[in-house]
Amino acid sequence: MQIAEKIIALCPSLLHQTNTKGDSPLHIAARLGLFQMTQFLINCAKLVEVEVEKELLRMQNLDKDTALHEAARNGNFEVVSLLVNEDPELAQIVNNAGESSLFLAVDRKFYKIACLIHEVAPACSYGGRNSMNVLHVAIIRADKSKSLNIVLLWNSAAQKDYPCSYNKPVASFVLDLIDP
């Protein structure tokens, strides 16, 4: 990390520099689960000003993934916690495939991460690829006994006249059921 500190001190603009895939250094650190490096990069951006920090956190690569997408996809709980607590609105962003960070966490069975995202950012997106949402993937990834419970709750919620697309009551049921 000392090398990174020296490099940023010499050329702070490298903080926002992207590679050919559009990944910033924050994307890479989040993908690899490097908590201290992720924290360091965010702190460097904060030293400039708050807007620069938000800009860094919300940077999207060519797939429109944010650092939060990368951390959630790779099961990096501490990094997800850091990122979503720094900017809860990150959880509203979907990538080119239509996937939210919540969807990616449930899809990879990182239920602790999914619960954290939902708790810290209740206005998070439930969107997923192929017009699916988090409920679709929760059913696909759950074991058979949990799938039955999820479907029963979905039907119960539908009978209470909840709208069926991306609504909080249904998504909350899912997260409650799949939390280990």
pLDDT of residue 175: 55
Average pLDDT over residues 132-146: 81
Gap between the Cα atoms of 27 and 170, Å rounded: 31
Nearest Cα neighbor of 101 from 88, 151, 154 is 88
Per-residue pLDDT at 150: 47
Q: Which pLDDT score, from 0 to 100, does residue 25 have?
A: 97
In whole angstroms, what separates CA 118 from the centre of its chain?
10
**pLDDT at position 79, please?**
98
pTM metric for this prediction: 0.82
Domains, the chain:
2-178 (1.25.40.20)
Residue 133's DSSP bridge partners are 127
**Residue 88: what pLDDT?**
97
CA distance 42 to 60: 15
Q: Binning pLDDT at 50, 70 and 90, where does residue 147 land?
A: very low
Res 151: pLDDT: 46
* Residue 148 in this model has a pLDDT that exceeds 60: no
Q: What is the pLDDT of residues 65-121, one digit of tens each?
A: 999 999 999 999 999 999 999 999 999 999 999 999 999 999 999 989 998 999 999
pLDDT over 80 (residue 32): yes
